[in-house]
């Protein structure tokens, strides 16, 4: 019998169970959510914050916008910048990850014959913005996944030359759970005179993140996965030294230094990435994000990471005992990703997914593998139920 995850020296199980019972009672009543790499549930405080904002907008919309929404926007930016490890003045709000990456790809100064290098196993939002530059004569080169479901900087280097301008990469791969050492990839890009453009959505909110320490030049994310806010809300970081190379392809009143001057003949664009916040923000998305980030900060990202990785390790052991192959790469026998991806030699992925669904477990099939992604409020019983529901082959 597989041993359940250890609560640790301080035994935090009671703390996590308390959050489960208060913040995620609605989600856990509906089933077992193990798809935070897909869409995470809104906590009770997120739901309350959004409801209160809607009521305020219904009473006095302008006052609510000025006195509630804008302060929430400031607070959300401060909290998200801390979680990402970037200066808040260089963080802009977007609609989603693809929106942020497209702003960079469309605006980046590139010339015919330049190329970008990315992974063949990438999520489409990471690659499509660069494919869209084909009309400019830009080549997109794909690095294949290794047999052990990892990527390696050496393989990227083999695809790079003196015309490589961008390395585009996810911090955590959506289909395999491979977690990249972003410091290595940033150094590789910089040695070639290129920039590192990172998609951090599959780790942010589950793992400690420090984009500045990595040396990443650009980082984009959305709010609806591990952050557990709402869809339609994202963020984009662009390092100051890269901003001068990105032409603003969409601007509006929010893009300028003095947006209430209302002068169409003379204006100055904001000097940072916030020039891409061209119009009214996603008010409810910001309110939800601020509340969701508050919850994660309250618990602490280190505690969250320990919990998520512990549950993942427990799941991996139980799955292997049942005859499933763990695809998520391990170092020294330890998963270092919040995603647990797996498959069976004789059980089809769709059959495994259907069995999980019938047991009330929300999971996914991605990249040729079954994928579960527990968060801090999940527990060993959730994992045990999921594994028990899977066909043994």
For the segment(s) 52-297, the CATH number from 3.30.930.10, 3.100.10.20, 1.10.645.10, 3.40.640.10 is 3.40.640.10
Burial track 6-44 (b if 16+ CB lie within 10 A, e otherwise)? ebeeeebbeebeebbeebbeebbeeebbbbbbbebbbbb
Residue 96 has a CB neighbour count (10 Å cut-off) of 21
- What dotted CATH number matches 13-42+300-389? 3.90.1150.10
In the chain, what are the domain boundaries?
13-42+300-389, 52-297
Model confidence, pTM = 0.94
Q: What is the pLDDT along the chain (393 residues), one digit of tens a residue?
A: 455 555 444 578 999 999 999 999 999 999 999 999 999 999 999 999 999 999 999 999 999 999 999 999 999 999 999 999 999 999 999 999 999 999 999 999 999 999 999 999 999 999 999 999 999 999 999 999 999 999 999 999 999 999 999 999 999 999 999 999 999 999 999 999 999 999 999 999 999 999 999 999 999 999 999 999 999 999 999 999 999 999 998 889 899 888 888 888 878 899 999 999 999 999 999 999 999 999 999 999 999 999 999 999 999 999 999 999 999 999 877 888 999 999 999 999 999 999 999 999 999 999 999 999 999 999 999 999 999 999 997
Q: What angle do CA 9, 14, 17 make, to 5 degrees?
A: 130
Q: What share of the chain is helix, strand, coil (3-state, %, to 5)?
A: 45, 15, 40
């Amino acid at each position: 019998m597989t041993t359940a995850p250890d609560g640790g020296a301080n035994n935090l199980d009671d703390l996590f169970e308390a959050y489960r019972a208060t913040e995620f009672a609605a989600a856990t009543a509906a089933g077992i959510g193990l798809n935070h790499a897909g869409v995470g549930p809104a906590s009770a405080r997120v739901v309350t914050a959004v409801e209160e904002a809607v009521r305020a907008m219904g009473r006095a919309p302008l006052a609510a916008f000025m006195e509630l929404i804008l302060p929430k926007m400031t607070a959300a930016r401060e909290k998200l910048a801390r979680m990402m490890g970037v200066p808040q003045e260089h963080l802009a709000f977007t609609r989603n990850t693809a929106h942020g990456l497209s702003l960079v790809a469309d605006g980046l100064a590139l010339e015919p014959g330049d190329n970008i290098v990315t992974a063949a196993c990438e999520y489409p939002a990471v690659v499509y913005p660069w494919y869209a530059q084909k009309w400019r004569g830009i080549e997109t080169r794909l690095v294949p996944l290794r047999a052990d479901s990892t990527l390696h900087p050496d393989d990227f280097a083999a695809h790079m030359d003196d015309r490589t301008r961008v390395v585009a990469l996810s911090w955590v791969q959506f289909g395999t759970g491979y977690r990249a050492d972003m410091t290595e990839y940033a150094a590789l890009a910089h040695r070639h005179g290129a920039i590192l453009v990172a998609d951090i959505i599959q780790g942010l909110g589950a793992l400690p993140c420090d984009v500045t320490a990595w040396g990443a030049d650009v980082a984009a994310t959305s709010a609806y996965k591990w952050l557990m806010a709402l869809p339609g809300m994202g963020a984009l970081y662009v390092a100051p030294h890269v901003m001068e190379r990105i032409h603003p392809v969409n601007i509006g009143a929010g893009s300028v230094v003095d947006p209430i001057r209302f002068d169409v003949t003379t204006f100055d664009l904001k000097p940072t990435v916030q020039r891409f916040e061209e119009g009214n923000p996603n008010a409810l998305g910001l309110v939800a994000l601020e509340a969701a980030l508050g919850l994660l900060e309250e618990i602490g990202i280190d505690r969250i990471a320990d919990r998520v990785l512990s549950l993942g390790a427990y799941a991996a052991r139980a799955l292997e005992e049942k005859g499933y192959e763990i695809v998520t790469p391990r170092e020294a026998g330890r998963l270092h990703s919040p995603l647990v991806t797996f498959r069976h030699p004789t059980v089809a992925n769709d059959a495994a997914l259907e069995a999980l669904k019938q047991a009330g477990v929300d999971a996914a099939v991605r990249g040729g593998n079954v994928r579960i992604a527990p968060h801090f409020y999940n527990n060993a019983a959730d994992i045990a139920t999921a594994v028990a529901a899977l066909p043994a082959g």
